[in-house]
């Protein structure tokens, strides 16, 4: 494969050919993509082993997070007395989808199946709850662990020297800080200054040095400003940047862990309703890590992968830009770890819809409107578990169902990234602004009718090969021209063979984790 843009290997770039890029696993250098599978620094590795031994920290494998029943019984028993939100290293063994709200382990991930009375479509929409994850109440703690642990067990990251830098628009930074602290490391959150108040209140409780919270300008749409801050931080070799938008371990973690939890949910419901088809997996792009779960669901069950963005900043849909308030999804660029050439649908959702439903879901007026439509109390009781990006995913799933003309035997699966508890300040702003005179029954009816029951298919694109190439090529400007990624490393991502190879790394990391735990002796003791 040549890095020369004029070579025959790239001559068809942008005109619809995926076959122009070859991938050869025998010549693949995983270290160029942060995918190390061996010890690269024995000294740093040894210091990490000693740090974890003295602090009594052991590490779960990706296999254990995918199937927590395989966690050693002694470890599971020890969790009974540990607060799920405590800075306790044993909470690493709760970084999975099989928790309840109180820290107990469940046999099936907590979820809800949204009925037609709420969604307005016949297709069942299965939603897994991310606020069951420990410490931060959001599934981004899984992404943070996935990114840091391979660096620890390879010796690349030395907790006695490095600060872990976590660039994010909120939850990943919080997850990184939590994972850093309970793994005996120092974490630094880099996030926009206008994110929800609750995010910063959490950081104030978890970070001892206020200087370890770096507020960049802007809000959800200002990802470039986060990168610029990280470029400055990277000038100090003691700062180790763990950029979720470029860390392929983020992709691997969700492919290995989240996909299996969602598959479990689908198979559970398929067993109850024989013939139920998994038609689509829907998730907001953000860093695109979560979208990796769709890779397995597509390969094994034929589910189409739908990537979601804010219509106020329609980067994938229209190569556009703008500002929005769907907190939890970054934009204005295509993440390096987004497998664009395997994405099937792109959906735009308005932040106005998410804001209004965020109020409707948490007020008596909104719930009364849904109850009158026939939504039962068991479903209504779950609405507190939907944050803004969670509502975004649900709206997008409705739009996908309508666009693809899906029926009652066509299930869609998505996730509620976090819960409404992280957005009280946003609802306060809504009540002081748009609903200054109060949130009335008419307001509830308008929000639920327009954004759920009558959600349209505007801003939905079913991708062809041409559309996939268009989105893929847009990322060139961010990663090659701005961030200095080698052209060959950028272009190889067009090949599905590349992504299939990346998705094989978890077992190697599990072996390294087991070796590391063996050297610390913590599990044995």
- Contact between 244 and 147 under an 8 Å Cβ cutoff? The reply is yes
Residue 409 pLDDT exceeds 50? yes
In sequence order, the β-bridge partners of residue 462 are 345
Least confident of 17-21, 150-154, 385-389: 17-21
Q: Is 381 exposed, middle or buried (0-12, 13-18, 19+ CB in 10 A)?
A: exposed
- Contact between 196 and 220 under an 8 Å Cβ cutoff? The reply is no
By 3-state DSSP, what share of the chain in percent is helix, strand and coil, each rounded to 5?
50, 10, 40
Sequence-ordered alpha helix ranges (H) in 319-440: 351-360, 364-372, 377-380, 388-403, 424-432
Mean pLDDT of 452-474: 97
- Containing H/E element for 297? helix 293-301
Q: Please report, for residues 151, 222, 354, 412, 471, the alpha-carbon distance to residue 171 in angstroms, rounded to integers and kept in the order given.
A: 21, 15, 18, 25, 26
User: Distance between CA 469 and CA 473 in Å, rounded?
Assistant: 6
- Contact between 401 and 121 under an 8 Å Cβ cutoff? The reply is yes
pLDDT tens digits for range 173-232 = 999 999 999 999 999 999 888 777 888 898 999 998 999 999 988 766 677 888 899 999
How many CB atoms sit inside 10 A of residue 523's CB? 13
What pLDDT, on a 0 to 100 scale, did the predictor assign at position 193? 85
Angle between helices 351-360 and 424-432 (to 10 degrees): 100
Residue 80 pLDDT exceeds 70? yes
Confidence of residue 168 (pLDDT cuts 50, 70, 90): confident
User: Distance between CA 352 and CA 375 in Å, rounded?
Assistant: 23
pLDDT tens digits for range 326-335 = 765 656 889 9
For the chain, give the percent of residues with pLDDT over 70. 94
pLDDT tens digits for range 49-77 = 999 999 999 999 999 999 999 999 999 99
C-alpha dihedral sign at 402, 406, 409, 413: negative
User: Distance between CA 397 and CA 418 in Å, rounded?
Assistant: 17
What pLDDT, on a 0 to 100 scale, did the predictor assign at position 345? 98
Mean pLDDT of 101-124: 97
What pLDDT, on a 0 to 100 scale, did the predictor assign at position 521? 97
- Containing H/E element for 412? strand 410-416
For the chain, give the percent of residues with pLDDT over 90. 81
pLDDT tens digits for range 186-203 = 999 998 887 778 888 989
Question: Which residues, in sequence order, are CB contacts of 121 under 8 Å at separation 6+?
Answer: 398, 401, 402, 406
Confidence of residue 423 (pLDDT cuts 50, 70, 90): confident
What pLDDT, on a 0 to 100 scale, did the predictor assign at position 431? 86
User: Distance between CA 464 and CA 18 in Å, rounded?
Assistant: 12
Question: What's the whole-model pTM score?
Answer: 0.94
What pLDDT, on a 0 to 100 scale, did the predictor assign at position 500? 97
Report which of 470, 460, 468, 466 is spatially closest to residue 496, judged by C-alpha positions. 468
Phi, psi of 370 (to 5 degrees): -70, -40
Question: Which position has the token pair 């002796």?
Answer: 521
Question: Which residues, in sequence order, are CB contacts of 171 under 8 Å at separation 6+?
Answer: 136, 138, 139, 140, 199, 328, 417, 418
């Amino acid at each position: 494969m040549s890095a020369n843009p004029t070579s025959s290997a790239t001559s068809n770039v942008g005109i619809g050919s995926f076959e122009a890029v070859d991938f050869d696993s025998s010549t693949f250098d995983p270290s160029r993509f942060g995918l190390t599978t061996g010890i690269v620094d024995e000294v740093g590795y040894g210091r990490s082993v000693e740090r974890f031994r003295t602090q009594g920290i052991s590490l779960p494998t990706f296999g254990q997070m995918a199937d927590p029943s395989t966690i050693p019984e002694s470890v599971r028993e020890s969790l009974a007395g540990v607060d799920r939100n405590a800075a306790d290293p044993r909470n690493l063994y709760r970084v999975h989808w099989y928790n309840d709200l109180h820290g107990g382990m469940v046999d099936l991930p907590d979820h809800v199946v949204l009925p037609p009375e709420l969604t307005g479509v016949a297709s069942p929409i299965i939603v897994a709850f991310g606020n069951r994850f420990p410490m931060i109440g959001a599934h981004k703690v899984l992404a943070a662990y996935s990114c840091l642990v391979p660096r620890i067990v390879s010796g690349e990251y030395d907790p006695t020297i490095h600060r872990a830098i976590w660039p994010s628009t909120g939850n990943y930074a919080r997850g990184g800080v939590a994972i850093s602290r309970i793994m005996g490391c120092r974490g630094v959150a880099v996030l926009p200054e206008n994110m929800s108040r609750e995010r910063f209140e959490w950081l104030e409780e978890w970070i001892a040095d206020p200087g370890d919270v770096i507020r960049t300008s802007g809000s959800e749409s200002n990802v470039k400003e986060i990168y610029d801050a990280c470029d400055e931080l990277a000038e100090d070799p003691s700062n180790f940047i763990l950029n979720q938008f470029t860390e392929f371990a983020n992709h691997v973690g969700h492919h290995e862990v989240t996909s299996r939890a969602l598959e479990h949910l689908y198979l559970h419901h398929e067993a109850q309703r024989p013939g139920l088809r998994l038609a689509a997996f829907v998730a907001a792009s953000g860093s695109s890590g979560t979208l990796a779960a769709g890779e397995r669901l597509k390969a094994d069950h034929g589910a189409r992968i739908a990537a979601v963005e804010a219509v106020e900043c329609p980067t994938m849909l229209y190569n556009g830009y703008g500002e929005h308030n769907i907190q939890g999804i970054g934009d204005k660029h295509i993440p390096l770890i987004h497998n664009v050439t395997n994405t099937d649908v792109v959906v735009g959702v308005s932040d106005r819809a998410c804001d209004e439903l965020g109020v409707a879901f948490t007020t008596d007026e909104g719930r009364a409107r849904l109850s009158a439509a026939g939504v039962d109390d068991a479903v209504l009781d779950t609405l507190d578990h939907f944050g803004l990006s969670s509502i975004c995913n649900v709206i997008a799933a409705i739009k996908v169902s309508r666009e693809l003309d899906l029926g009652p035997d066509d299930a869609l699966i998505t996730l509620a990234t976090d819960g409404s508890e992280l957005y009280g300040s946003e609802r306060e702003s809504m009540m002081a602004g748009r609903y200054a005179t109060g949130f009335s029954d008419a307001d509830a009816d308008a929000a639920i009718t327009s954004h759920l029951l009558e959600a349209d298919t505007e801003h939905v694109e079913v991708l062809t090969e041409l559309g996939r190439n268009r989105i893929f090529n847009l990322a060139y400007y961010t990663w090659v021209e701005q961030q200095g990624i080698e052209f060959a490393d950028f272009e190889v991502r067009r090949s599905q063979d590349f992504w299939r190879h990346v998705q094989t790394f978890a077992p190697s990391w599990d072996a390294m984790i087991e070796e590391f735990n063996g050297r610390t002796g913590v599990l044995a003791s």
